[in-house]
Chain A
Protein backbone atom coordinates (compact mmCIF):
# COMPACT_ATOMS: atom_id res chain seq x y z
CA UNK A 1 0.00 0.00 0.00
CA UNK A 2 3.05 2.22 0.02
CA UNK A 3 2.08 3.22 -3.51
CA UNK A 4 -0.82 5.26 -2.15
CA UNK A 5 1.69 7.75 -0.74
CA UNK A 6 3.10 8.28 -4.24
CA UNK A 7 -0.11 8.86 -6.21
CA UNK A 8 -0.21 12.63 -5.83
CA UNK A 9 3.50 12.93 -6.47
CA UNK A 10 3.19 10.79 -9.58
CA UNK A 11 0.32 12.86 -11.02
CA UNK A 12 1.97 16.18 -10.35
CA UNK A 13 5.21 14.93 -11.91
CA UNK A 14 3.47 14.12 -15.20
CA UNK A 15 1.59 17.23 -16.41
CA UNK A 16 -0.54 15.41 -18.99
CA UNK A 17 -1.88 12.98 -16.38
CA UNK A 18 -5.32 13.84 -15.00
CA UNK A 19 -6.09 10.86 -12.80
CA UNK A 20 -3.87 8.40 -10.99
CA UNK A 21 -5.75 5.57 -9.32
CA UNK A 22 -4.61 2.46 -7.53
CA UNK A 23 -7.04 -0.40 -7.88
CA UNK A 24 -7.84 -3.86 -6.61
CA UNK A 25 -8.77 -5.69 -9.80
CA UNK A 26 -10.27 -8.68 -8.03
CA UNK A 27 -12.82 -6.73 -5.99
CA UNK A 28 -13.15 -3.87 -8.47
CA UNK A 29 -12.31 -1.34 -5.79
CA UNK A 30 -10.41 1.92 -6.09
CA UNK A 31 -7.95 1.79 -3.21
CA UNK A 32 -6.61 5.30 -3.64
CA UNK A 33 -6.54 8.16 -6.10
CA UNK A 34 -5.14 11.51 -7.04
CA UNK A 35 -7.40 13.55 -9.31
CA UNK A 36 -6.81 16.92 -10.96
CA UNK A 37 -10.47 17.99 -10.80
CA UNK A 38 -13.78 16.56 -9.71
CA UNK A 39 -14.33 13.02 -10.90
CA UNK A 40 -17.56 11.19 -10.08
CA UNK A 41 -17.14 7.86 -8.34
CA UNK A 42 -18.97 6.17 -11.22
CA UNK A 43 -16.16 7.18 -13.56
CA UNK A 44 -13.54 5.71 -11.26
CA UNK A 45 -15.59 2.52 -10.87
CA UNK A 46 -15.85 2.25 -14.66
CA UNK A 47 -12.09 2.66 -14.98
CA UNK A 48 -11.59 -0.07 -12.42
CA UNK A 49 -13.85 -2.44 -14.33
CA UNK A 50 -12.09 -1.61 -17.58
CA UNK A 51 -8.67 -2.24 -16.03
CA UNK A 52 -9.85 -5.61 -14.75
CA UNK A 53 -11.15 -6.55 -18.18
CA UNK A 54 -8.05 -5.52 -20.07
CA UNK A 55 -5.38 -6.80 -17.70
CA UNK A 56 -7.17 -9.99 -16.80
CA UNK A 57 -8.65 -11.04 -20.12
CA UNK A 58 -9.44 -14.66 -20.83
CA UNK A 59 -7.03 -14.72 -23.77
CA UNK A 60 -4.10 -14.38 -21.37
CA UNK A 61 -3.11 -12.13 -18.56
CA UNK A 62 -1.46 -8.85 -19.37
CA UNK A 63 1.05 -7.01 -17.19
CA UNK A 64 0.72 -3.62 -18.77
CA UNK A 65 -1.65 -1.97 -21.21
CA UNK A 66 -2.09 1.33 -22.99
CA UNK A 67 -5.43 2.35 -24.47
CA UNK A 68 -5.92 5.38 -26.67
CA UNK A 69 -8.75 7.15 -28.41
CA UNK A 70 -9.12 10.67 -29.68
CA UNK A 71 -10.16 12.10 -26.31
CA UNK A 72 -7.89 10.37 -23.82
CA UNK A 73 -5.24 7.76 -23.14
CA UNK A 74 -5.00 5.20 -20.32
CA UNK A 75 -1.94 3.48 -18.94
CA UNK A 76 -2.57 0.41 -16.80
CA UNK A 77 0.14 -1.53 -14.98
CA UNK A 78 -0.01 -4.41 -12.56
CA UNK A 79 1.82 -4.00 -9.26
CA UNK A 80 4.88 -6.25 -9.03
CA UNK A 81 4.34 -8.76 -6.27
CA UNK A 82 0.63 -7.93 -6.03
CA UNK A 83 -0.81 -9.01 -9.39
CA UNK A 84 -4.39 -8.36 -8.33
CA UNK A 85 -3.58 -4.68 -7.89
CA UNK A 86 -2.86 -2.17 -10.62
CA UNK A 87 -2.08 1.44 -11.25
CA UNK A 88 -4.29 3.37 -13.70
CA UNK A 89 -3.30 6.70 -15.20
CA UNK A 90 -5.74 8.74 -17.27
CA UNK A 91 -3.94 11.14 -19.60
CA UNK A 92 -4.49 13.68 -22.34
CA UNK A 93 -4.63 12.04 -25.79
CA UNK A 94 -1.37 13.61 -26.96
CA UNK A 95 0.61 12.43 -23.95
CA UNK A 96 4.14 11.03 -24.28
CA UNK A 97 3.13 7.41 -23.70
CA UNK A 98 6.65 6.16 -23.07
CA UNK A 99 7.18 8.81 -20.39
CA UNK A 100 3.97 7.92 -18.57
CA UNK A 101 4.69 4.19 -18.77
CA UNK A 102 8.12 4.79 -17.31
CA UNK A 103 6.63 6.98 -14.56
CA UNK A 104 4.15 4.26 -13.63
CA UNK A 105 6.86 1.63 -13.58
CA UNK A 106 9.10 3.73 -11.33
CA UNK A 107 6.29 4.53 -8.92
CA UNK A 108 5.37 0.87 -8.53
CA UNK A 109 9.00 -0.24 -8.22
CA UNK A 110 9.63 2.40 -5.57
CA UNK A 111 6.63 1.22 -3.59
CA UNK A 112 7.44 -2.48 -3.90
Chain B
Protein backbone atom coordinates (compact mmCIF):
# COMPACT_ATOMS: atom_id res chain seq x y z
CA UNK B 1 0.00 0.00 0.00
CA UNK B 2 1.31 3.41 -0.89
CA UNK B 3 2.00 5.89 1.86
CA UNK B 4 1.84 9.63 1.75
CA UNK B 5 5.54 9.69 2.61
CA UNK B 6 6.31 7.63 -0.46
CA UNK B 7 4.33 10.02 -2.60
CA UNK B 8 6.13 12.99 -1.13
CA UNK B 9 9.49 11.40 -1.81
CA UNK B 10 8.52 10.69 -5.36
CA UNK B 11 7.25 14.21 -5.87
CA UNK B 12 10.51 15.60 -4.60
CA UNK B 13 12.35 13.22 -6.92
CA UNK B 14 10.30 14.58 -9.80
CA UNK B 15 11.12 18.08 -8.69
CA UNK B 16 14.75 17.50 -7.90
CA UNK B 17 16.51 18.51 -11.08
CA UNK B 18 18.04 21.88 -10.41
CA UNK B 19 15.60 22.76 -7.66
CA UNK B 20 17.58 21.61 -4.71
CA UNK B 21 20.63 23.68 -5.61
CA UNK B 22 24.09 22.96 -4.33
CA UNK B 23 22.88 22.75 -0.75
CA UNK B 24 20.89 19.59 -1.35
CA UNK B 25 17.62 18.46 0.17
CA UNK B 26 16.93 17.40 3.71
CA UNK B 27 15.19 14.05 4.16
CA UNK B 28 13.43 13.75 7.48
CA UNK B 29 12.07 10.53 8.93
CA UNK B 30 9.36 10.19 11.54
CA UNK B 31 11.96 9.55 14.26
CA UNK B 32 15.39 8.12 15.03
CA UNK B 33 16.02 4.78 13.35
CA UNK B 34 13.47 5.45 10.64
CA UNK B 35 15.89 6.76 8.06
CA UNK B 36 16.81 3.52 6.31
CA UNK B 37 13.51 3.21 4.40
CA UNK B 38 13.79 6.85 3.35
CA UNK B 39 17.32 6.29 2.06
CA UNK B 40 16.15 3.20 0.18
CA UNK B 41 13.36 5.21 -1.42
CA UNK B 42 15.91 7.78 -2.49
CA UNK B 43 17.93 5.02 -4.16
CA UNK B 44 14.87 3.39 -5.69
CA UNK B 45 13.70 6.61 -7.29
CA UNK B 46 17.09 7.49 -8.75
CA UNK B 47 16.81 6.15 -12.26
CA UNK B 48 19.41 8.17 -14.17
CA UNK B 49 23.14 7.89 -13.33
CA UNK B 50 23.79 10.03 -10.26
CA UNK B 51 26.42 10.49 -7.63
CA UNK B 52 24.38 10.65 -4.44
CA UNK B 53 25.89 12.16 -1.32
CA UNK B 54 24.18 11.42 2.00
CA UNK B 55 25.41 13.77 4.71
CA UNK B 56 24.63 13.87 8.41
CA UNK B 57 25.88 15.81 11.43
CA UNK B 58 29.51 15.95 12.54
CA UNK B 59 30.67 16.00 8.92
CA UNK B 60 29.68 12.38 8.31
CA UNK B 61 28.92 11.48 4.71
CA UNK B 62 28.61 8.58 2.29
CA UNK B 63 28.98 9.07 -1.45
CA UNK B 64 27.32 6.53 -3.74
CA UNK B 65 27.04 5.84 -7.45
CA UNK B 66 23.38 5.10 -8.11
CA UNK B 67 21.42 4.39 -11.26
CA UNK B 68 18.30 2.48 -12.22
CA UNK B 69 17.32 2.20 -8.55
CA UNK B 70 20.55 0.36 -7.73
CA UNK B 71 23.68 1.20 -5.73
CA UNK B 72 26.66 0.42 -7.92
CA UNK B 73 29.46 1.57 -5.69
CA UNK B 74 30.37 3.37 -2.49
CA UNK B 75 32.67 6.07 -3.81
CA UNK B 76 33.78 7.63 -0.55
CA UNK B 77 32.97 7.84 3.14
CA UNK B 78 33.86 10.57 5.60
CA UNK B 79 33.52 10.29 9.35
CA UNK B 80 31.84 6.90 8.93
CA UNK B 81 33.48 3.57 9.73
CA UNK B 82 34.06 1.23 6.77
CA UNK B 83 35.68 -1.82 8.40
CA UNK B 84 34.80 -4.10 5.49
CA UNK B 85 36.55 -1.88 2.94
CA UNK B 86 33.43 -1.31 0.89
CA UNK B 87 34.66 1.98 -0.52
CA UNK B 88 35.65 1.77 -4.16
CA UNK B 89 34.42 -1.78 -4.64
CA UNK B 90 31.84 -2.52 -7.33
CA UNK B 91 28.79 -4.04 -5.66
CA UNK B 92 27.53 -7.30 -7.10
CA UNK B 93 23.89 -8.42 -7.03
CA UNK B 94 23.10 -10.81 -4.20
CA UNK B 95 26.32 -10.14 -2.27
CA UNK B 96 25.03 -10.68 1.28
CA UNK B 97 28.23 -9.45 2.90
CA UNK B 98 28.14 -6.23 0.89
CA UNK B 99 24.48 -5.70 1.81
CA UNK B 100 25.25 -6.10 5.50
CA UNK B 101 28.23 -3.76 5.24
CA UNK B 102 26.16 -1.16 3.41
CA UNK B 103 23.50 -1.32 6.11
CA UNK B 104 26.16 -0.83 8.80
CA UNK B 105 27.51 2.12 6.83
CA UNK B 106 24.10 3.80 6.63
CA UNK B 107 23.31 3.11 10.28
CA UNK B 108 26.63 4.62 11.30
CA UNK B 109 25.89 7.63 9.11
CA UNK B 110 22.40 8.18 10.50
CA UNK B 111 23.27 7.48 14.13
CA UNK B 112 20.51 8.82 16.34
CA UNK B 113 19.49 11.47 13.86
CA UNK B 114 16.19 11.55 12.05
CA UNK B 115 17.36 13.50 9.04
CA UNK B 116 20.01 13.36 6.39
CA UNK B 117 21.02 15.81 3.68
CA UNK B 118 20.91 14.45 0.12
CA UNK B 119 22.80 15.91 -2.79
CA UNK B 120 22.60 14.52 -6.28
CA UNK B 121 25.03 15.21 -9.10
CA UNK B 122 24.72 14.02 -12.65
CA UNK B 123 27.31 11.42 -13.55
CA UNK B 124 28.89 12.16 -16.91
CA UNK B 125 30.62 8.85 -17.56
CA UNK B 126 28.56 5.97 -18.82
CA UNK B 127 27.20 3.71 -16.12
CA UNK B 128 25.63 0.65 -17.61
CA UNK B 129 23.89 -0.90 -14.66
CA UNK B 130 20.68 -2.44 -15.78
CA UNK B 131 21.38 -5.48 -13.63
CA UNK B 132 24.56 -4.58 -11.74
CA UNK B 133 24.79 -3.31 -8.17
CA UNK B 134 22.37 -3.75 -5.31
CA UNK B 135 18.78 -2.75 -5.93
CA UNK B 136 16.84 -0.87 -3.27
CA UNK B 137 14.30 -3.67 -3.22
CA UNK B 138 16.93 -6.37 -2.60
CA UNK B 139 18.47 -4.26 0.16
CA UNK B 140 15.09 -3.77 1.81
CA UNK B 141 14.50 -7.51 1.73
CA UNK B 142 17.94 -8.29 3.17
CA UNK B 143 17.58 -5.65 5.87
CA UNK B 144 14.02 -6.70 6.71
CA UNK B 145 12.80 -3.15 6.53
CA UNK B 146 9.45 -1.87 5.29
CA UNK B 147 10.55 -0.14 2.16
CA UNK B 148 7.64 0.70 -0.12
CA UNK B 149 8.56 1.11 -3.80
CA UNK B 150 7.00 4.09 -5.48
CA UNK B 151 3.91 3.05 -7.43
CA UNK B 152 1.86 6.07 -8.29
CA UNK B 153 -1.59 6.33 -9.80
CA UNK B 154 -2.19 8.55 -12.79
CA UNK B 155 -3.68 11.23 -10.54
CA UNK B 156 -0.66 11.21 -8.26
CA UNK B 157 1.65 11.44 -11.25
CA UNK B 158 -0.32 14.50 -12.39
CA UNK B 159 -0.02 16.05 -8.95
CA UNK B 160 3.72 15.37 -8.98
CA UNK B 161 4.06 16.92 -12.41
CA UNK B 162 2.12 19.99 -11.24
CA UNK B 163 4.41 20.48 -8.27
CA UNK B 164 7.43 19.90 -10.47
CA UNK B 165 6.26 22.53 -12.93
CA UNK B 166 5.43 24.97 -10.13
CA UNK B 167 8.84 24.58 -8.47
CA UNK B 168 10.67 24.90 -11.77
CA UNK B 169 8.81 28.12 -12.57
CA UNK B 170 9.50 29.67 -9.18
CA UNK B 171 12.98 28.41 -8.33
CA UNK B 172 14.56 31.80 -9.07
CA UNK B 173 12.40 33.60 -6.52
CA UNK B 174 11.82 31.00 -3.81
CA UNK B 175 14.19 31.35 -0.85
CA UNK B 176 13.36 27.91 0.58
CA UNK B 177 10.68 25.25 0.29
CA UNK B 178 9.39 22.39 2.37
CA UNK B 179 7.14 19.57 1.24
CA UNK B 180 5.07 17.73 3.80
CA UNK B 181 1.55 16.54 4.50
CA UNK B 182 -1.13 17.90 6.82
CA UNK B 183 -0.85 14.96 9.19
CA UNK B 184 2.74 13.75 8.89
CA UNK B 185 5.95 14.92 10.52
CA UNK B 186 7.93 13.68 7.54
CA UNK B 187 9.12 16.38 5.21
CA UNK B 188 11.70 17.30 2.63
CA UNK B 189 12.94 20.71 1.73
CA UNK B 190 15.62 22.79 0.08
CA UNK B 191 17.24 26.14 0.67
CA UNK B 192 19.26 27.72 3.46
CA UNK B 193 19.08 25.55 6.58
CA UNK B 194 17.67 28.31 8.80
CA UNK B 195 14.92 29.08 6.29
CA UNK B 196 14.01 25.39 5.93
CA UNK B 197 14.03 25.00 9.72
CA UNK B 198 11.74 28.00 10.06
CA UNK B 199 9.31 26.54 7.53
CA UNK B 200 9.50 23.17 9.31
CA UNK B 201 8.66 24.72 12.67
CA UNK B 202 5.76 26.64 11.16
CA UNK B 203 4.41 23.56 9.37
CA UNK B 204 4.62 21.57 12.61
CA UNK B 205 2.82 24.30 14.54
CA UNK B 206 0.05 24.36 11.95
CA UNK B 207 -0.23 20.59 12.02
CA UNK B 208 -0.46 20.50 15.81
CA UNK B 209 -3.23 23.10 15.86
CA UNK B 210 -5.11 21.52 12.97
CA UNK B 211 -4.66 24.61 10.82
CA UNK B 212 -2.65 22.67 8.24
CA UNK B 213 -5.90 21.09 7.07
CA UNK B 214 -8.30 23.90 7.79
CA UNK B 215 -9.71 25.55 4.67
CA UNK B 216 -7.05 23.82 2.55
CA UNK B 217 -7.52 20.07 2.44
CA UNK B 218 -10.71 19.51 4.42
CA UNK B 219 -13.06 22.11 2.95
CA UNK B 220 -16.54 20.92 2.05
CA UNK B 221 -16.67 23.03 -1.09
CA UNK B 222 -13.67 23.70 -3.30
CA UNK B 223 -10.67 24.03 -0.97
CA UNK B 224 -8.32 26.96 -1.00
CA UNK B 225 -5.18 25.65 -2.65
CA UNK B 226 -2.95 28.71 -2.50
CA UNK B 227 -2.41 30.61 0.71
CA UNK B 228 -0.05 33.48 1.44
CA UNK B 229 0.66 34.52 5.01
CA UNK B 230 2.70 37.53 6.00
CA UNK B 231 3.70 37.13 9.60
CA UNK B 232 5.11 40.24 11.22
CA UNK B 233 4.87 43.68 9.68
CA UNK B 234 8.60 43.85 8.97
CA UNK B 235 9.00 40.34 7.55
CA UNK B 236 10.94 40.41 4.29
CA UNK B 237 9.62 37.04 3.12
CA UNK B 238 6.07 35.78 3.11
CA UNK B 239 5.06 32.17 3.56
CA UNK B 240 3.21 30.60 0.65
CA UNK B 241 1.36 27.33 1.18
CA UNK B 242 0.32 25.39 -1.90
CA UNK B 243 -1.90 22.32 -1.56
CA UNK B 244 -1.97 19.71 -4.32
CA UNK B 245 -3.74 16.41 -3.83
CA UNK B 246 -3.15 16.39 -0.07
CA UNK B 247 0.49 17.44 -0.34
CA UNK B 248 1.40 20.74 1.30
CA UNK B 249 4.24 22.78 -0.13
CA UNK B 250 5.51 25.57 2.12
CA UNK B 251 7.61 28.25 0.43
CA UNK B 252 9.47 31.27 1.70
CA UNK B 253 9.19 33.99 -0.93
CA UNK B 254 10.10 37.67 -1.13
CA UNK B 255 6.87 39.66 -1.17
CA UNK B 256 7.91 41.42 -4.37
CA UNK B 257 7.78 38.06 -6.16
CA UNK B 258 4.25 37.10 -5.13
CA UNK B 259 2.80 37.96 -8.53
CA UNK B 260 5.18 35.55 -10.28
CA UNK B 261 4.49 32.80 -7.75
CA UNK B 262 0.72 33.25 -8.06
CA UNK B 263 0.95 33.11 -11.85
CA UNK B 264 3.05 29.93 -11.64
CA UNK B 265 0.44 28.34 -9.39
CA UNK B 266 -2.38 29.26 -11.77
CA UNK B 267 -0.46 27.75 -14.68
CA UNK B 268 0.89 24.62 -13.04
CA UNK B 269 -1.74 23.39 -10.64
CA UNK B 270 -4.89 21.88 -12.09
CA UNK B 271 -8.16 23.23 -10.73
Residues of A whose CB lies within 8 Å of any CB of B are: 50, 53-54, 57-71, 80, 93-94, 96-98, 101
Contact = CB atoms under 8 A, between A and B. Distances in A.
Contact of A57 (B211, B222, B265): B211
Interface string B203-226: 001101101001100000011111
Contacts of A60: 202, 205, 231
Interface residues of B, number: 28
Contact of A70 (B228, B229, B271): B271
Contacts, number: 76
Closest 7 CB pairs of A and B: A70-B271, A66-B228, A68-B226, A59-B205, A64-B230, A58-B209, A98-B259
B231 A66 contact: no
B2 interface: no
A67 B216 CA distance: 10
Nearest to B226: A68
Contacts of A71: 222
A96 B259 contact: yes
Looking at chain B's contact residues, is the secondary structure mostly helix, strand, loop, or mixed? mixed
A109 to B, nearest CB: 12
Task: Output the residue of B209, B223, B262, B265 with the most chain A CB within 10 A.
Answer: B262
A63 B258 contact: no
Given A57-B211, A59-B202, A59-B209, A70 B231 contact: no
Contact of B225 (A59, A68, A96): A68
Contact of A101 (B214, B227, B258, B271): B258
Contact of A63 (B205, B211, B224, B230): B230
